[in-house]
Amino acid sequence: MALPLVIGLQSDSPAAEAGILVGDVLVSINGEQPRDVIRYQILVDGPELELQVDRGGLDRTIQISKPDGAALGIEVQSSLFDQVRTCDNHCSFCFIYQLPPGMRKSLSLKDDDFRLSFLYGNFTTLTRFTEADLERVITEGLSPLYVSIHTTDPDLRSHMLRNKRGATSLRWLRALLDHGIEIHGQLVVCPGVNGGEDLERSLAGVLDEYPELASLAVVPLGISDHSNESEMRAHSQAEAAEVVDLVEDWQSIYQRHLGHRLVFAADEYYLLAKRPFPKPEVYEGFPMHEDGIGMARTFESEFHGHTDVATGTQSGFFSWVDGAPAEGYRAPRLDQPSCGDPATSGPTPVSIMPRASAPVGILTSEYGAQVLAPLVATLERDDVRIITVPNRFFGGNIAVTGLLVGEDIGRVLAEQPSGHRYLLPDVCLSSGIFLDGSRPEDLPHPVEITPADGISLRRALEPSTLLRQEVSA
């Protein structure tokens, strides 16, 4: 079991005044060795702390007094200090199994850890969930959680997960709902497996068995050229349209019985079916935005200035596996940027430069181009163009921007003229690195990294403002 490592320290904080240093290892807090950042934060919120610290092999005891709930002023290295609870399912549709060879080993780590569900919004199947986990979730209020349901048919779920516990593990979903835990569910639809009548039975099963769900996302199977599962195939346009119709029918049923629509189809389904996206109010506050539900509508609203708050998108697919920056509950609770080693901690540095008056190319995926093209057209500017990047690295039906890699972007950029501005959304980067291990500085032309929201894109296209270009630490 690893221990929390101090990588950032706020000046004038209780920790700094007590003598904690960057590089210290926290052996225990009030006699307890925390397993993860959740327990760590609960422990350090107290007013009287006794920290056992390992400093270069020397043990120290440091006493700290502070107001109850006040920030300690420490940023720790990672979210889990013990081992990640890995997934023992063998789903034929799992994207981990469809990665090209030679990628970073960390990207092949399959988790099924309820703590990562709480911290990052990762989906868990609950097949490794236990009574002790249930007690902790309830007592510590670890809500919301995100659960992969896929089907409410026990035998079909066991078949899809290739795990006999798949048939019984949804009992934990029922138990979590009984204790008031907010749960967001997901159905990954595999054509010919759990679509069609099976999908309708699952939607009926949710109404019968799990009506307290906060929301339910219906998302299509993503399949790359590296899948070796003969049972898996991409949706046809007709199948996508069938899913959209079915979801919209069940939205009416849920609305009538539960008072809200509950279920939503992923944006990909509307693009595949060549259907218009629902109106913004249909999404009921966009509870599953990060799962690709209503992203297009929120982006449109942001782009047209209908909101001053950008929803954004979590930067980087698999962003958690390589130690993503602290955010949300994991935030270090510092009142100012940490002053540790900038190579290992602190915020991403930002450079400010005047905007050049040059033609602009917006780099995006095939799906992204379908969303952005009509928005950019409303600007009536002949100096802004969409540059579509086909995903040859993964192939198959992979067409989302979050899975673009440097190899594909570089190939397309090499055909573009120099001296132009090229905008690239940050969603295809994790800590400044593409999934294929390359970096923006490896591309044939300089690119400007912009947050993946409509407000940021609109501002990046305004010639009279200053560009805040994020650069890798």
Domain identity same for 160 and 287: yes
Stated as kind and residue range, the H or E segment containing 28 is strand 25-29
Domain identity same for 166 and 230: yes
The Cα-based distances of 22 to 50, 62, 76, 91, 155 in angstroms read 18, 14, 9, 42, 52
Percent of the chain with pLDDT over 90: 73
Examine residue 116 and state whether it is found in any structural domain, yes or no. Answer: yes
Examine residue 152 and state whether it is found in any structural domain, yes or no. Answer: yes
* pLDDT above 50: residue 156: yes
pLDDT at position 98 is 92
How many domains does the structure of the chain reveal? 3
* pLDDT above 60: residue 346: no
pLDDT at position 389 is 98
Domain identity same for 55 and 190: no
* pLDDT above 50: residue 212: yes
pLDDT at position 2 is 83
Domain identity same for 46 and 110: no
At 466, give phi and psi (nearest 5°). Answer: -95, 145
Examine residue 298 and state whether it is found in any structural domain, yes or no. Answer: no
Cβ atoms < 10 Å from Cβ of 378: 10
pLDDT at position 196 is 96
Residue finishing a domain among 48, 76, 104: 76
d(CA 383, CA 377): 11
Residue finishing a domain among 76, 104, 119: 76
* pLDDT above 70: residue 471: no
- Looking at residue 269, which CATH number applies to its domain? 3.80.30
pLDDT at position 356 is 53
pLDDT at position 53 is 97
Buried b (16+ CB within 10 A) or exposed e, 61-85: ebebebeeeebbbbbbbbbbbeebb
pLDDT at position 348 is 35
Pure H helices in 111-260: 114-120, 131-140, 154-161, 170-178, 196-209, 237-258
Domain identity same for 288 and 197: yes
pLDDT tens across 27-80, in order? 999 999 999 989 998 999 999 999 999 999 999 999 999 998 888 999 888 888
At 352, the pLDDT band (50, 70, 90 cuts) reads very low
pLDDT at position 469 is 43
Domain identity same for 43 and 145: no
Domain identity same for 270 and 156: yes
pLDDT at position 313 is 66
Location of structure tokens 């006794």: 50
* pLDDT above 70: residue 283: yes
Examine residue 442 and state whether it is found in any structural domain, yes or no. Answer: yes
Examine residue 1 and state whether it is found in any structural domain, yes or no. Answer: no
Domain identity same for 360 and 391: yes
Examine residue 53 and state whether it is found in any structural domain, yes or no. Answer: yes
pLDDT at position 432 is 87
The Cα-based distances of 9 to 22, 24, 25, 264 in angstroms read 6, 11, 13, 43
Residue finishing a domain among 76, 103, 119: 76
Domain identity same for 356 and 412: yes
pLDDT at position 329 is 53
pLDDT tens across 364-386, in order? 999 999 999 999 999 999 999 99
pLDDT tens across 249-261, in order? 999 999 999 999 9
**Residues of the domain holding 384:** 350-470
Domain identity same for 158 and 196: yes
Q: What is the signed CA dihedral for 223, 226, 228, 233, rounded to 10 degrees?
A: 20
Domain identity same for 426 and 463: yes
pLDDT at position 291 is 84
List Cβ neighbours of 264 (8 Å cut-off, separation of 6 or more).
Answer: 215, 216, 217, 218, 247, 251, 283, 288, 293, 294
CA nearest to 352, candidates 461, 471, 468, 456: 468
* pLDDT above 90: residue 363: yes
Domain identity same for 248 and 375: no
pLDDT tens across 299-343, in order? 999 999 988 777 766 656 555 555 444 444 544 444 443 333 333
pLDDT tens across 410-459, in order? 999 999 999 999 999 999 998 789 999 999 999 999 999 999 999 999 99
Mean per-residue pLDDT, 283-307: 91
pLDDT at position 80 is 87
d(CA 42, CA 30): 11
Contact between 47 and 66 (Cβ < 8 Å): yes
Percent of the chain with pLDDT over 70: 88
Between 388 and 103, where is the model more confident?
A: 388
pLDDT at position 307 is 82
Coil, strand, or helix at residue 230?
A: coil
At 170, the pLDDT band (50, 70, 90 cuts) reads very high
- Looking at residue 25, which CATH number applies to its domain? 2.30.42.60
Mean per-residue pLDDT, 170-185: 97
